[in-house]
Structure 1
């Protein structure tokens, strides 16, 4: 057990709802002053500063001095990725539980809801819409619990430079799978195909990363080209 990673240290920092609220407000890659974060979390200035100091000392936030004010932002992209993964797991676990209460989407900045990096693939509204178009266009289909790329889908994907046979040979992950999306009521595409599509979008400069955030900026060309993909 001594060799186990000390994930409990990070878990402890994220366990407090007030600290989580402040980190969540920074998920879009922005830098915010302590006063604004205090207001968002419903804390006094002194309490917010104490929480922010712990988050900064733990390596989750970075402090930027601007005159007499201190601004806080995510320390690195891996912090946002970890919080995003926790949000996705939270939504998926609620859906799997025996509870009959409906799953409600988590509130977040518009840029995160629109498009973001989820693990190694695209998440958000844009990704969920692309998933639904691929299903309707019969590029992908479900067989029992598994998601498959159809021959029709493989042909169309090859036209975009995505070769599913090559992905299957060079990837250790599943070709295609559902990924729970914490901001949507429907899944987006994960697996090797999801990663391949994100790589295509980034290399085509349709998407651009935003600071240390998991959010991505969609260019006008990217918006048009991704919307055309699998359009019925």
Structure 2
């Protein structure tokens, strides 16, 4: 129980919507001035500086000097991971509480919506589209409580160098995407595909962000997967 006060300190900082708005604007790995963040959060410069001082003092943000100007950036990858996890939990809990109505997709910087890290696998628009193509192409078969890789899917994955027999369970699972209102591929197979994309140099990490950069070859090759 001794760790609880430390958790609550960070939680209390994130409970303020204006501070969360400024953190959220930096989730794409960008560095922004206090003036930019004040505008994005709808704050006066003085109020923004007070909030930024608390976020910086707590280790959630860091300051870097550029041409004599102070810019704010997410302090480390673990901060981005925590914010992303909160976003996922927010959407998943909303979906559980009102399953008859999809929660609205969270607004976020374009880079985050396009492609990002998500629990070791690929998330975002690119991931959701890929998972949908795989389902439609018959790579996976959905049952009431599980999703299984079909023989066809296993063959195609083996052609990519991914052998499902070598992967740990759970092999395939839906991971609800907070920016797309539909699932992308989670589980060991999702992580395996992520490693394939990284090793092929199709995608790369952006600073301390959860956002991922996709090069032209990567976009072309990933878009071809499971395409009819």
- Structure 2 length normalisation: TM-score? 0.96
CA distance in 2, matches of 1:101, 1:153: 31
Of the candidates 174, 183, 187, which is equivalent to residue 170 of structure 2? Answer: 174
Q: CA deviation at 1:2?
A: 2.2
Does 2:179 align with 1:183? yes
Aligned pairs for 1:33-182 (under 5 A) are 33-98=33-98, 102-168=102-168, 173-182=169-178
- Ranges in structure 1 where 5+ consecutive residues have no aligned partner: none
SS where residue 133 of structure 2 aligns?
Answer: helix
Contact 2:102–2:181 under 8 Å retained in 1: no
Deviation by residue 1:25-63 (Cα, 9 ceiling, x = unmatched)? 001100000011011111111111111111111111010
CA distance in 2, matches of 1:195, 1:101: 29
SS where residue 189 of structure 1 aligns?
Answer: strand
CA distance in 1, matches of 2:18, 2:33: 16
Q: 1:95 to 1:37 in 2, by over 3 A?
A: same
- Ranges in structure 2 where 5+ consecutive residues have no aligned partner: none
The root-mean-square deviation of aligned C-alpha atoms, in Å, is 1.4
Q: CA deviation at 1:13?
A: 1.3
Deviation by residue 1:148-193 (Cα, 9 ceiling, x = unmatched)? 111111110010011110013xxxx511100010100210000100
CA distance in 2, matches of 1:224, 1:159: 17
Q: CA deviation at 1:3?
A: 5.2
Contact 2:117–2:123 under 8 Å retained in 1: yes
- Structure 1 length normalisation: TM-score? 0.94
SS where residue 70 of structure 1 aligns?
Answer: strand
